[in-house]
């Protein structure tokens, strides 16, 4: 999703029509989850520890392992 599309969804998330706002919020949520997963994978490839990733995300190391499967994104 490009920046222009994301900007459109951010604007629609404030829409007076609650269904349009919910749809836009759902689209943004999916895109952010995808981008987070990519960033986690890139961090692991760069050698960042799970604890470091957890700190950056503001969650526990265990939460990162649950979400990203620990070994699936492990280095090597």
Model-level pTM? Answer: 0.79
Give the separation between CA 3 and CA 63, rounded to whole angstroms. 29
pLDDT for the residue numbered 26: 96
pLDDT for the residue numbered 76: 44
Q: Print pLDDT tens along the chain (76 aa).
A: 899 999 999 999 999 999 999 999 999 999 999 999 999 999 999 999 999 999 999 999 999 989 997 655 554 4
pLDDT for the residue numbered 71: 57
pLDDT for the residue numbered 69: 79
Q: Which among 52, 65, 17, 13 has a CA at the least distance from the CA of 74?
A: 65
The answer to whether 46 touches 53, Cβ cutoff 8 Å, is no
């Amino acid at each position: 999703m490009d920046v222009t599309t994301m900007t459109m969804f951010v604007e629609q998330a404030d829409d007076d029509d609650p269904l349009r706002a919910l749809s836009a919020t759902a689209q943004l949520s999916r895109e952010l989850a995808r981008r987070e997963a990519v960033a986690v994978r890139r961090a692991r490839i760069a050698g960042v520890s799970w604890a470091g990733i957890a700190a950056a995300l503001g969650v526990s190391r265990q939460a990162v392992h649950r979400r990203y499967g620990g070994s699936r994104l492990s280095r090597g």
